[in-house]
Chains A and B, each alone.
Chain A
């Protein structure tokens, strides 16, 4: 991937505390710097860094391209990871229900429109950031509070049975690869 030199590098305040920095390039060629503690929150990125053998000395010279995540989402992700890089490891949740209170800072960060949140969740899943995934899922789960099934269908983009049936019929009517 080619890197556009005119694209600004996003600096995050906290990174000055940590001498080890990594560069990440989003799908739309925005370049981000992220501290070692923060990048460890992403299992995907940290595995990549480990496998590439990046060190404090060569990290900034070897930017990591992330083709599945655009700059807007990457900015949110970097902010989130820097904010939570020193958090204590959370105990394993039990009972199959995720019980936690979403902090106000994170609620603000995730106050974005539904489509952006949808894309952010896909990016978070790709980068394997468990805490951000928990928080995003909580935000979309909270949308269900005190809503009727009809309202839920609109919020979550769930087709009606009739729409699903029509989709199935049109799929079966359309010619296959050989037709």
Chain B
């Protein structure tokens, strides 16, 4: 069989019998077939919307792709043996399991350092799927930070307990600028005050501890805390600083979902210069966009959200408004946006 001698129209139908995983495996045969697959099946590759790299343990990576029509799934595992004849695919070889193991064609075993392997695989996938899709990296309760990958637009990273402040700063300094960064783990006092982490535009923290310090140091636009505790005094200080135009000028939204503490929301409200809509008036509806990572399938997405509140602040100096909602379990704070919340702007600056 000399498939390279088939006319393009036949090759197109031939390739349509292959899943993404099988096409990738076929593309490993040579540069010529790789380029042929890329050009002949371009219309399929451009349907891919997201690629996620998931470090599930110190040594195993799951790669999940989601297109408008189907999924891509690859697993990279360390090679169990000392010897063998690995293909020159980033030092990997396909795993051959028993014939009734349906996923066998999607599993690759690697021998080289996993960082080099995953970077090689990522570069390879990037050649097929291009820069327009959403690349996300995930890690979960591992003792290592995931490899740094270029072109990644979102990360959901477990910060290992034993990493020092210096190690974390060095890692995140090398990390490419991303649209979204979520950090989990014990994060209290783990970063230097002017850490690059705090300059992320969209930072989500899942700490299980206190987040006061991180709120103080944040320089970006969107900050979300889940399962993270705060002192009431920190919230009062934050809202007063914003209101008096003494800090957090870039901030567009702050959300706090407390872990095991509760706010004294009435006490906080008494200590800030908050305005209230009357019960006879409609509550203010503020729209914003939440970015989040999803587990099944692993991906990063954006969702439209609405905050409905009767309480708001007007900033001194520029008159910028922000809706605020404080409950015993958390805080929502959204700065009014001139495009999405034009219905509020101007009319409430009394």
Chain A positions within 8 Å of B, measured between CB atoms, are 94-98, 114-115, 117-118, 121-122, 125, 133-134, 137-138, 140-146, 148-150, 152-153, 155-161, 164
Contacts and interface: CB of A to CB of B under 8 A. Distances in A.
Interface in B6-24: 6-7, 9-10, 13-14, 16-19, 22
Interface string B64-82: 0000011000000000000
A144 B26 contact: yes
Given A97-B19, A97-B70, 17 more contacts: A121-B6, A122-B10, A125-B9, A133-B10, A134-B13, A137-B13, A140-B17, A141-B14, A141-B18, A146-B105, A148-B87, A149-B28, A149-B29, A152-B26, A153-B29, A156-B2, A156-B29
Q: Tell me whether chain B's interface is mostly helix, strand or loop, or mixed.
A: mixed
Given A118-B1, A121-B6, A137 B16 contact: yes
Interface in B25-83: 25-26, 28-33, 43-44, 47, 69-70
Contacts of B105: 145-146
Q: Tell me whether chain A's interface is mostly helix, strand or loop, or mixed.
A: helix
A155 to B, nearest CB: 6
Contacts of A159: 4, 30, 32
Given A125-B7, A160-B30, A98 B70 contact: no
B74 to A, nearest CB: 14
B10 A156 contact: no
Given A137-B17, A140-B1, A157-B3, A96 B29 contact: no
A125 to B, nearest CB: 5
Contacts of A158: 3-4, 29-30, 32-33
A95 B93 CA distance: 29
For A96, A155, A159, A161, the residue with the greatest tally of chain B CB atoms inside 10 Å of its CB is A96
Interface residues of B, number: 37
B155 to A, nearest CB: 30
Contact of B69 (A96, A118, A148, A156): A96
A21 to B, nearest CB: 30
Nearest to B45: A96
Given A146-B104, A148-B94, A138 B1 contact: no
B14 A137 contact: yes
A141 B2 CA distance: 13
B167 to A, nearest CB: 38
Contacts of A98: 13, 16-17
B347 interface: no
Interface of B: 1-7, 9-10, 13-14, 16-19, 22, 25-26, 28-33, 43-44, 47, 69-70, 87, 89, 93-94, 96, 99, 104-105
Contacts of A153: 29-30
A74 to B, nearest CB: 18
A153 to B, nearest CB: 5
Nearest to B34: A161
A162 B29 CA distance: 12
A141 B105 CA distance: 13
Contacts of A134: 13
4 closest A-B pairs (Cβ-Cβ)?
A141-B17, A95-B69, A157-B2, A149-B28
25 contacts: A96-B43, A96-B47, A96-B69, A97-B17, A97-B69, A114-B1, A118-B5, A125-B9, A133-B13, A137-B13, A137-B16, A141-B18, A141-B22, A143-B1, A146-B99, A146-B104, A148-B96, A149-B26, A149-B29, A149-B87, A153-B30, A156-B2, A156-B29, A158-B3, A159-B32
A141 B69 CA distance: 20
For A94, A95, A138, A158, the residue with the greatest tally of chain B CB atoms inside 10 Å of its CB is A158
A172 to B, nearest CB: 16
